[in-house]
Structure 1
Amino acid sequence: MSLVKFKRRPFRDLISSDFFDMDDFFDNRMWDSDLLRGRFWNGKTIDPAMNIKETDENFEIELAAPGFGKKDFNVTIDNGCLNISAEKSTSEEEKDETYTRREFSYDSFERSLQLPESVKQEEVKAKYDDGILSFQLTKKEEAKKQKPKVIEVS
């Protein structure tokens, strides 16, 4: 048989125990970004899914961002970095003699991609259609795949 210490104030004892690290508690749990994005935070911050495809001529990027409008996006290229952000908010209010109901939502995201030096930054094109934000990044001539040179044998 082993003796087990009885704890009358378990939370206070937990904080003062050797198994509880106060810094770790606040750094990794309480303020964790997933916690703030979850049920305790009424705003939504999303990380949209992204596909990147490389062809001989260019790079094609697709970013899933349903529910946004074209005017919600802010796309910039700064120091060789493609910065994509979007934000939108909605508000709805309903009044009756006995109650007032007001709901609102806020959605946002930010993504940044370091562009390769082989991309012509001045020719980047963006298009938003059916919830998909698409980019076409044209490669510089020297980066495009060259056709093999056929050497004739004599």
Structure 2
Amino acid sequence: MKLAHTTANNWLPSLIDEMFKNDYLGGTTETTKSFLPAVNVAERDESYLLELSIPGFSKEEVQIEIDQDVLTITSQVEKTESDAALKFTRREFSKKSFKRSFNLPETVNQNVIDASYNNGVLMVILPKKEEALPQPKRTISLK
């Protein structure tokens, strides 16, 4: 009975994803073959940090592009001849193509974006423009 209840509520995560599809730095999603890598977005004083969980991918298989204030991360996975020749009795993981896009806020300095990939996590650092950085407290004297 509990299993039936769980499957009946599978619509909730997809409804939430749909609601936040174009959210500020929340990103849009386009999936191919139903793979959607998990993402974390955090804001620091000097930058935004975007982390994408894509274990099993190599750096060469991942593309990052910026076009008109939209950051897009994609990977196109092609089936190899060795994959086609195998007959799996059980297959619980595989690499699949994906595409994730994120609307960048005006405060991001797009000229100095940096990315690295380590232990299955793609990390993209989006530095803020100088004018968007927190300013120190100051006192204004009266005249």
Same-fold call, TM cutoff 0.5: yes
2:123 pairs, out of 126, 130, 134, with 134
- Work out the CA distance in 2 between the residues paired with 1:56 and 1:106: 35
Runs of 4+ in 1 over 2 A off after TM superposition: 87-94, 103-106, 150-153
Contact 2:113 2:126 in 1 (8 A): yes
Rg comparison, structure with higher value: 1
Paired-residue identity, %:
38
Question: Which residue matches 2:86?
Answer: 103
Q: State whether structure 2 residue 104 is matched by structure 1 residue 88.
A: no
Question: Which residue matches 1:61?
Answer: 50
Q: State whether structure 2 residue 67 is matched by structure 1 residue 78.
A: yes
Higher strand share: 1
Q: State whether structure 2 residue 129 is matched by structure 1 residue 146.
A: no
Q: How many residues end up aligned between the 2 structures?
A: 105
Question: Which residue matches 1:112?
Answer: 101
Instruction: Report the secondary structure of 2:80's partner residue.
Output: strand
Q: State whether structure 2 residue 37 is matched by structure 1 residue 48.
A: yes
Deviation at 1:92, TM superposition (A): 5.5
Contact 1:90 1:106 in 2 (8 A): no
Alignment RMSD (CA, Å): 2.6
Question: Which residue matches 1:8?
Answer: none
Cα–Cα, structure 1 residues 148 and 133, in superposed 2: closer, same or farther, change >3 Å?
same
Cα–Cα, structure 1 residues 121 and 93, in superposed 2: closer, same or farther, change >3 Å?
closer
What amino acid maps onto 2:58 in structure 1? G
Structure with larger RCO (C-alpha < 8 A, sep 6+)? 2
TM-score by length of 2: 0.65
What amino acid maps onto 2:108 in structure 1? V
Deviation at 1:74, TM superposition (A): 1.2
Q: State whether structure 2 residue 104 is matched by structure 1 residue 121.
A: no
